[in-house]
Amino acid sequence: MAPQNELSDSRYRILVDAITDYAIYMLDAAGLVASWNPGAQRFKGYQDHEILGEHFSRFYTASDIEADLPSRALATARAEGRFESEGWRVRKDGSQFWAHVVIDPVIDPQTRQVLGYAKITRDLTERREQERALRESEQSFRLLVQGVTDYAIFMLDEKGFVTNWNAGAERIKGYRPDEIIGRHFSVFYTPEDHDRREWERALAKARANDGFQTEGWRVRKNGERFWASVAIDPIYNDSGSIMGFAKITRDMTERKRAEIALDTAREALYQSQKMEAVGQLTGGIAHDFNNLLNAVVGSLELLRKRLTDDRQMSLINNAMEGASRGISLTQRMLAFARKQELQATPISVFDLMGAMSDLLRRSLGPSVNLDFSLPADLDNILVDRNQLELAILNLTVNARDAMPEGGRITISAKNIDAEMSGPAELKPGRYVQIIVVDEGVGMAPDVLAKAVEPFFTTKGIGKGTGLGLPMILGTAQQLGGRLELKSELGKGTTAILWLPAAEPAIPSTVTAEETITVEEPGSSLRILAVDDDALILMNTVALLEDLGHTVVEANSGSEALEKLESEESFDLLITDHAMPKMTGGQLIAEVTSRWPDIPIILASGYAEIPETVLAGVERLAKPFWQADLHKAICNATRLKPGPGIYAVSSGDNASGP
């Protein structure tokens, strides 16, 4: 058996000597090195003859020797049958390495005495360095994530429950880690998105597409909403299964608000440009239509004077009624385009409403209750009374039409300072709000957005022109105010008319005894009539001649100057404004300079005429009735109108025969 045992021992030594990744050697009972393999020589640095017989404690650091670690290691191996640990050890050259050590006692089977120890040591310095680097990297990453405050960075488990929480998440969402870790991330969704289970779709898309990104409204702890940019990425374990999700959220509320503000500004600019273009078109059409109506109403008036047949007279009256409606329509169009002539005077809202109350109640009918809430201390407003009455009538009729089953309309008013709460486009100052509230069906947001656009109506074919609200808006803006509309479906509509307050009136120093009157002379006037439109000029001449005046015609400003230079003197000049080459304003300036004693009437449908042109000039708005023309002549020549000249016409802007 001896040769066989010797062969086995020889093979064992060959095996041990072939191992170079482990130090495998024997210690005797006292801890002296009894054998030494190439692995021990490789990473401890000692040759056989340098270490055999030496105590193994020389492999330990000074602090471990001072702590008696070598002796305690052998004692543990004897008592427990094994000692295993990791720690720093020392090479021959004094350098240290991290070692994994196993010491097993060698027991005599007969006596059970410890004969020595088998010691295996492995150099784990490289692995320890990798682990240290990994720990430092992980720590740095944790510090990085925790240090980020502009982004919410946190983890979810595979079901969506929060497992960690960074400082950015706390800042953006408002939860402390102890308040949110363990809760489901669906708490960040708005109620409507939560009910639609958007959070569930987000996780499903992240699983299916290896990630998910979106933007939307989210909710902070305090209930406040913010616009969030969200990214969700799945996290896989070593087996390739999803173990959770990484979630990054950024608060983009300021950017979203800026985008909304930009979109709003763009829409406002688009609407402004569109309304300006429509206003220019509408104003031009209304002006031309006014000229045509001027010829129609003048001719009808003259024709009516010459007819005696009742049937023919009824037809003429019917035509004049149609012309009056046309005048009303053009006035609305010009009001929308802010090109009508307004006679702004201080008006008491309290007195105006008192005077209109009966008219409004009759117009609204028995199914509508009309209430007024008007404080007595209201400021006077600077408006055109006729246009304001028409605007209030339009608003109340619109309110009535919005209540097909009847209801209540409330008209109230109050003083207000634009500096405190007025719209941005209003100039700072004192205003009066006239507020009309109904209990009607209300308007959807898309309808409300178009309500003041010209020709837009919800009343059905033949029941509305779509110019009522645009006219009110145009009039208010021309006076320096504005119109606001507020409405919701099923909750009625509120119309708020902002109008500038009038300055306190300065008491007049003119007494009744000082009032000047001028008697009307018996002779007719010699009048120069100027208009580039032959149709209008012929009508004006006919009306003037019917009044008993002598008229000379001119088709342009230059021709009028030639007439003034070559003809006998004129008692009066009547001129249009919008003429080619030389406008009525330019003609007036020339005439005023060269013939300052000639009274002048400017007949025009436009309101945008420079004040310098209007100074000392009588204004006559087109279209005009013969009574308006006669009144303008009297005013321009300071004549007292004769009795029986005036009667109220059915037109909106003038007195008629």
Using CA atoms, how far apart are residues 543 and 627, in angstroms rounded to an integer? 10
The answer to whether residues 563 and 526 touch, using CB atoms and an 8 Å cutoff, is no
3-class DSSP state of 549: coil
The one-letter code for the residue type at 29 is A
pLDDT digits (tens, 9 = 90+) for 151-203: 888 999 999 999 999 888 999 999 999 999 999 999 999 999 999 999 999 99
pLDDT score of 512 more than 50: no
Give the pLDDT band of residue 520 (cuts 50, 70, 90): very low
pLDDT at position 270 is: 67
User: Average pLDDT, stretch 512-525?
Assistant: 47
Q: Are strands 368-373 and 381-384 parallel, antiparallel or unpaired?
A: unpaired
Using CA atoms, how far apart are residues 399 and 624, in angstroms rounded to an integer? 32
Considering only 237-241, 349-353, 361-365, 502-506, which range has the smallest mean pLDDT?
502-506
Give the pLDDT band of residue 513 (cuts 50, 70, 90): very low
- Provide DSSP, 297-349: HHHHHHHHHH---HHHHHHHHHHHHHHHHHHHHHHHHHHHTT-S---EEEE-H
Which CA distances in Å does 23 have to 76, 82, 88, 409, 648? 20, 17, 15, 103, 125
Considering only 471-480, 507-516, 616-625, which range has the smallest mean pLDDT?
507-516
Cα end-to-end span (Å), the chain: 153
User: Average pLDDT, stretch 240-247?
Assistant: 90
pLDDT at position 258 is: 87
Give the pLDDT band of residue 130 (cuts 50, 70, 90): confident
Considering only 48-52, 411-415, 544-548, 637-641, which range has the smallest mean pLDDT?
637-641
Q: Are strands 430-438 and 407-417 parallel, antiparallel or unpaired?
A: antiparallel
Give the pLDDT band of residue 641 (cuts 50, 70, 90): very low
The residues near 544 (Cβ < 8 Å, ≥ 6 apart) are 527, 529, 551, 574, 629
Which pTM value belongs to this model?
Answer: 0.41
Give the pLDDT band of residue 8 (cuts 50, 70, 90): low
Using CA atoms, how far apart are residues 217 and 609, in angstroms rounded to an integer? 53
Give the pLDDT band of residue 307 (cuts 50, 70, 90): confident
pLDDT score of 319 more than 90: no
Q: Is the peptide bond prior to 346 cis by the omega test (within 30 degrees of 0)?
A: no
pLDDT digits (tens, 9 = 90+) for 538-569: 888 988 988 899 999 999 999 999 999 887 68
Selection from 134, 122, 40 nearest residue 84 by Cα: 122
Domains of the chain, CATH where assigned: 2-128 (3.30.450.20), 148-251 (3.30.450.20), 344-500 (3.30.565.10), 516-656 (3.40.50.2300)
Q: Which residue shows structure tokens 């509305």?
A: 464
pLDDT digits (tens, 9 = 90+) for 263-279: 877 776 666 565 566 55
3-class DSSP state of 231: strand
Which CA distances in Å does 558 have to 171, 227, 575, 589? 78, 67, 12, 13
Using CA atoms, how far apart are residues 104 and 113, in angstroms rounded to an integer? 13
pLDDT score of 116 more than 90: yes
Using CA atoms, how far apart are residues 278 and 339, in angstroms rounded to an integer? 13
Distance of CA 475 to the CA centre of its chain: 27
Using CA atoms, how far apart are residues 389 and 395, in angstroms rounded to an integer? 10
Strand order of the β-sheet with 114-123 is 22-28, 114-123, 96-107, 83-90
Using CA atoms, how far apart are residues 602 and 613, in angstroms rounded to an integer? 9
Using CA atoms, how far apart are residues 529 and 37, in angstroms rounded to an integer? 132
pLDDT score of 508 more than 80: no
Give the pLDDT band of residue 147 (cuts 50, 70, 90): low
Using CA atoms, how far apart are residues 540 and 547, in angstroms rounded to an integer? 11
Pairwise pLDDT comparison (449 vs 527), residue with the higher score: 527
Average pLDDT, the chain: 80
- Helix (H) or strand (E) run with residue 28 in it: strand 22-28
Residue 10 has which token pair? 């020889």
pLDDT digits (tens, 9 = 90+) for 323-335: 777 666 666 555 5
Distance of CA 641 to the CA centre of its chain: 57
Using CA atoms, how far apart are residues 22 and 579, in angstroms rounded to an integer? 113
pLDDT at position 649 is: 30
Which CA distances in Å does 77 have to 54, 71, 72, 102, 424? 20, 10, 9, 9, 90
Query: Alpha helix (H) ranges present in 402-486?
Result: 418-421, 445-450, 468-478
Give me the percent of the chain exceeding a pLDDT of 90.
30
Which CA distances in Å does 331 have to 323, 383, 386? 12, 16, 11
Using CA atoms, how far apart are residues 243 and 160, in angstroms rounded to an integer? 11
pLDDT at position 651 is: 33
pLDDT score of 575 more than 60: yes
Considering only 90-94, 310-314, 442-446, 577-581, which range has the smallest mean pLDDT?
310-314
pLDDT at position 461 is: 44
Pairwise pLDDT comparison (473 vs 225), residue with the higher score: 225
pLDDT at position 452 is: 67
Considering only 40-54, 214-228, 628-642, which range has the smallest mean pLDDT?
628-642
pLDDT score of 72 more than 90: yes
Residue 115 has which token pair? 């004969």
pLDDT digits (tens, 9 = 90+) for 356-389: 888 788 878 888 888 888 888 888 988 877 778 8
Taking the CA atoms of residue 383, residue 385, residue 391 and residue 393 in that order, the dihedral angle to the nearest 10 degrees is: 150
